[in-house]
């Protein structure tokens, strides 16, 4: 292995430990003693010391206690993230979801509850580093192979209709598969219709693992995601199913939903979210966090009216209309309303039009085989592929994206 000018291997993870307890810092060093790819480059005993040493040492990872004598660890992390490009892993003696949410809100990429094992420490550091941008020519720092980094996609697509029965679940499931086929990137379908979700039925996946497990977790790492996201046998997408119990929908607060979306973003190139029609706290959070919203209407007066109201409401609730794309589902002449009439009324052009094919859709639902898989040449499948390709183009980064993320080891 070659050496860099500073005498270290090019794939060494440079670690700064921040803790006002000398015993903790010493223990971390002992736990990492036999790890050839992780080197402790400094120890800081206070928040101010951490800010100064982070700027001087430019570590790849900072392992920081959340409770420091002079400053709050979350505040320190926020300051450091504004100064340098690094990866922060927070640690605490408290397994408190609120503390975890605070850490994630300032960009922390991992969370450890003291005491932790050597295996847990090393795994958390290595997984967190996968999301650090790869250095350019002459730059230092660790670059994990297969990681998406800042050049990766990490895009959230919300499929939403303010009127129930518009076909968003069928559209979201087929769109997720079409996205994977169009981009060859990692895709997860998230069933965030928390009270009535049935994406697992559409994909014929029988599982008791659900989004509830991510909500209840104290620190969502890749291991937890691998245990809850299930691979769809007929495609390369993963599924995170809705809660088993509709009552738990009320427990998905804005913070909990943001934490889940952030963790999924860090593990998949595309996160396709099927939402409920009711603007709950969780649904609003999904729409706020989404990079693209497929707002679905049909050629029914009631649905068109609800979509019109949604556009009026969106900006008042912090949803940017610039990321909303209007999709017309179930297009058919016999409904008596033409798509161009809807465009005129809503003053928006359709991003995509999906033709009506009731016989094919119902058959695919009953069989649990998405039509995008079973009937690739059907007009409705071609329309979904067009929608997926346009979404890929809209969400494409300015520069060429890095290779797809390392695919999680889905549960089968």
- The per-residue pLDDT for range 77-131, each reduced to its tens digit, is 989 988 888 999 989 888 776 777 777 777 788 888 888 899 889 988 988 776 4
> Residue 410 has what pLDDT?
55
Task: Give buried/exposed letters for 213-244 (b at 16+ CB in 10 A, else e).
Answer: bbbebebbbbebbebbbbbbeebebbbbbbbe
Domain membership flag for residue 1: no
Percentage of the chain surpassing pLDDT 70? 88
| Domain total in the chain | 2
> Residue 113 has what pLDDT?
86
Residues 75 and 223 in one domain: no
Domain membership flag for residue 198: yes
As a whole number, mean pLDDT of residues 397-404 equals 52
Query: Could you give the dihedral angle defined by the CA atoms of residues 211, 213, 218 and 224, in that order, rounded to the nearest 10 degrees?
Result: -90
- Per-residue tokens: 115: 């005491």
Domain membership flag for residue 5: no
List pLDDT tens digits, range 258-270: 989 988 988 899 9
Domain harbouring 26, CATH code: 3.40.50.2300
Residues 240 and 343 in one domain: yes
Distance, C-alpha 258 to centroid of its chain:
9
Instruction: Report the distance separating Cα 293 and Cα 217, nearest Å.
Output: 27
> Residue 408 has what pLDDT?
56
Residues 164 and 84 in one domain: no
Domain harbouring 384, CATH code: 3.40.50.300
Residues 172 and 113 in one domain: no
Residue predicted with more confidence, 398 or 85: 85
Confidence of residue 388 (pLDDT cuts 50, 70, 90): very high
Strands 187-192 and 230-231, bridge-based pairing:
unpaired
- Per-residue tokens: 336: 């008596």
DSSP sequence for 27-41: HHHHHTTT-TTEEEE
List pLDDT tens digits, range 197-212: 999 999 999 999 999 9
**For the whole model, what pTM was predicted?**
0.68
DSSP state, 67?
Answer: B
CB–CB of 328/352 below 8 Å? yes
Question: 259: domain range?
Answer: 155-395
């Amino acid at each position: 292995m070659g050496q860099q000018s500073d005498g270290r291997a090019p794939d060494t993870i440079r670690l700064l430990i921040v803790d006002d307890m000398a015993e903790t810092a010493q223990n971390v060093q002992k736990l990492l003693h036999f790890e050839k790819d992780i080197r402790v480059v400094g120890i800081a005993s206070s928040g101010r010391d951490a800010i100064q040493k982070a700027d001087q040492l430019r570590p790849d990872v900072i392992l920081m206690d959340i409770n420091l004598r002079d400053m709050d660890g979350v505040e320190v992390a926020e300051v450091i993230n504004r100064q340098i490009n690094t990866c922060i892993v927070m640690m605490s003696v408290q397994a408190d979801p609120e503390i975890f949410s605070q850490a994630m809100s300032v960009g922390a990429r991992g969370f450890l509850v003291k005491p932790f094992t050597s295996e847990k420490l090393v795994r958390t550091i290595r997984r967190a580093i996968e999301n650090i941008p790869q250095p350019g020519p002459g730059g230092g720092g660790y670059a994990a192979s297969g990681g998406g980094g800042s050049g990766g996609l990490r895009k959230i697509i919300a499929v939403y209709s303010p009127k129930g029965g518009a076909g968003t679940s069928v559209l979201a499931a087929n769109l997720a598969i079409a996205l994977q086929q169009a981009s060859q990137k990692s895709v997860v379908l998230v069933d965030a219709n928390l009270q009535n979700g049935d994406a697992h039925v559409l994909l014929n996946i029988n599982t008791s693992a659900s989004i509830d497990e991510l909500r209840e977790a104290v620190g969502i790492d890749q291991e937890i995601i691998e245990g809850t996201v299930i691979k769809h046998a007929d495609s390369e997408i993963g599924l995170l199913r809705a809660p088993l119990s509709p009552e738990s929908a009320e427990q998905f607060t804005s913070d909990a939903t943001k934490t889940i979306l952030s963790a999924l973003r860090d593990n998949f190139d595309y996160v396709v979210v099927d939402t409920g029609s009711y603007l709950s706290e969780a649904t609003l959070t999904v729409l706020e966090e989404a990079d693209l919203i497929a707002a679905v209407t049909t050629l029914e007066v009631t649905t068109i009216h609800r979509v019109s109201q949604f556009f009026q409401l969106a900006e008042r609730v912090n949803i940017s209309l610039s990321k909303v794309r209007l999709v017309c589902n179930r297009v058919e002449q016999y409904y008596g309303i033409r798509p161009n009439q809807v465009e005129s009324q809503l003053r928006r052009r359709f991003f995509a039009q999906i033709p009506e094919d009731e016989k094919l859709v119902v058959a695919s639902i009953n069989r649990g085989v998405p039509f995008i898989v079973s009937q690739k040449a059907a007009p409705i499948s071609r329309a979904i592929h067009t929608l997926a390709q346009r979404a890929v183009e809209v969400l494409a980064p300015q520069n060429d994206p890095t290779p797809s993320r390392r695919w999680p080891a889905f549960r089968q």
